[in-house]
C-alpha cells in the first residue's frame, strides 16, 4: 500500500514541533548577530583609478589601432601592478612590515569594460591604510612602468580618499542576520520533518490501519473521571449519611 501524506498532516507535523523550529531560528539569528557585531573585524575599501592613454609620439590624435593595442595591454598591466617588482617598492614607500603576499591579498586590480581605465581596489581593517596602499601602488606603478615597458602612458584619474565617516564594506550585519534567519528556518523545518519521519509510535486508529492494512472494528476509549462530579457524589453520600443518622 502506497503511503501518502496530505498537506494537513504536514502542517500538523510543523505545528507539533513549532518550538524546535523557532528555537533553531532564534539561535541562528542570535549567533549571526553576535558574530557580525562583536566578533568579525570590519573591513574598509578604498580605490584609485588609472588611465592607460596613448603613448607619447608625434601623432596628434588617437587612431583605432593604438586604442586597441592599449586595451590589449590592460591584462599585462594588471599582472605588473601585483608583481613583486611593484609591491616591493610599495612596501618600502609605505614603511610597513606587511609581506608581499599580504599586500597582494589586499589589492584587487580590474579594468572597466571596453575602456582604458584601470581600478586599484584595496581592502584593509584600517580605512586610512587602505587609501595609502591604493595611492602608493598607483604612484609606484606610474613611475616604474616607464622603466619596465619603456612607455609613459599611465595617468592617475582619481586618488583614494577617506570619507569623514567611513563605512565598512563587510561584514554586513543585516544581510548576515537575514541569511541566518532563512537558514535557521530551513534547518528547523527539516529537523521537524525528520523527527516526524522517525517517529514510529501509534497514536490513533488511523495509524493502526496504515500499519496493519486492516479496518478497525472497535476502540476502547479512556474515560477520565471528572473531579467536580466525584466531589458532588461524595457530598451527596455525606448528606444521606447525616439524614439516616438523624432519623435514628
Other C-beta atoms closer than 10 Å to the C-beta of 96 total 15
| Burial class of residue 134 in the structure, from the number of CB atoms within 10 Å of its CB (0-12 exposed, 13-18 middle, 19+ buried) | buried
Distance CA 7, CA 199 (A): 18
In this structure, the number of other CB atoms found within 10 A of the CB of residue 247 comes to 5
State residue 74's pLDDT score: 82
Write out 131-180 in H/E/C secondary structure.
HHHHHHHHHHHHHHHHHHHCCCCEEEEECCCCCCCCCCCECCHHHHHHHH
User: Cα(42)–Cα(123) distance, rounded to whole angstroms?
Assistant: 10
Tens of each residue's pLDDT in the chain, 248 residues:
445 567 777 888 888 889 999 999 999 999 999 999 999 999 999 999 998 875 555 444 556 666 666 667 788 888 999 999 999 999 999 998 999 999 999 999 988 777 788 999 999 999 999 999 999 999 999 999 999 888 788 889 999 999 888 889 999 999 999 999 999 999 999 998 888 888 777 666 666 666 666 676 666 676 665 555 556 556 555 544 544 444 44
In the numeric block, the cell 543585516 is attached to: 174
Q: Are 204 and 216 in contact (CB under 8 A)?
A: no
Q: What is the pLDDT of residue 244?
A: 42
Helix boundaries (H) for 1-126 = 7-16, 18-34, 64-72, 74-81, 84-94, 100-106
Nearby residues of 170 by Cβ (< 8 Å), 6 or more positions away:
40, 42, 43
Confidence at residue 56, expressed as pLDDT on a 0 to 100 scale: 53
pLDDT at 21: 93
Q: Which DSSP category does 48 fall into?
A: E
| 91 vs 84: CA distance, rounded Å | 10
Q: Is the pTM of this model over 0.85?
A: no
C-alpha to C-alpha distance for 49 and 117, rounded to whole angstroms: 7
Quote the pLDDT of residue 66: 63
Ramachandran assignment for 95, one of left (phi > 0), alpha (psi -120 to 50 degrees), beta (any other): left
Distance between CA atoms of residues 150 and 82, nearest Å: 18
**Distances 214 to 192, 207, 218 between C-alpha atoms, Å:** 29, 11, 12
Q: Hey, what's the cell of 219?
A: 476502540
211 in Cβ contact with 202 (< 8 Å): yes
Amino acid at each position: 500500500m502506497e503511503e501518502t501524506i496530505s498537506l494537513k498532516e504536514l502542517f500538523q507535523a510543523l505545528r507539533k514541533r513549532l518550538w524546535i523550529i523557532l528555537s533553531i531560528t532564534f539561535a541562528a539569528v542570535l549567533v549571526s548577530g553576535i558574530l557580525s557585531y562583536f566578533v568579525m573585524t570590519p573591513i574598509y575599501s578604498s580605490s584609485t583609478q588609472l588611465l592607460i592613454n596613448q603613448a607619447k609620439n608625434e601623432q596628434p590624435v588617437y587612431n583605432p589601432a593604438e586604442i586597441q593595442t592599449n586595451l590589449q595591454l590592460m591584462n599585462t598591466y594588471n599582472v605588473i601592478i601585483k608583481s613583486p617588482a611593484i609591491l616591493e617598492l610599495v612596501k618600502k614607500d609605505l614603511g610597513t612590515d606587511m609581506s608581499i603576499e599580504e599586500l597582494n591579498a589586499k589589492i584587487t586590480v580590474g579594468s572597466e569594460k571596453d575602456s582604458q581605465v584601470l581600478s586599484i581596489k584595496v581592502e584593509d581593517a584600517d580605512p586610512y591604510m587602505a587609501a595609502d596602499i591604493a595611492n602608493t601602488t598607483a604612484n609606484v606603478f606610474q613611475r616604474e612602468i616607464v622603466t619596465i615597458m619603456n612607455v609613459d602612458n599611465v595617468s592617475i584619474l582619481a586618488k583614494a580618499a577617506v570619507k569623514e565617516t567611513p563605512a565598512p564594506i563587510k561584514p554586513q550585519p543585516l544581510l548576515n542576520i537575514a541569511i541566518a534567519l532563512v537558514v535557521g528556518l530551513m534547518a528547523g523545518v527539516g529537523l521537524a520533518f525528520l523527527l516526524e519521519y522517525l517517529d514510529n509510535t501509534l497514536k490513533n486508529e488511523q495509524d493502526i490501519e496504515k500499519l496493519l492494512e486492516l479496518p478497525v472494528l472497535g476502540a476502547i476509549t479512556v474515560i477520565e473521571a471528572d473531579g467536580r462530579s466525584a466531589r458532588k457524589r461524595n457530598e451527596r453520600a455525606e448528606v444521606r449519611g447525616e439524614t439516616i443518622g438523624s432519623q435514628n
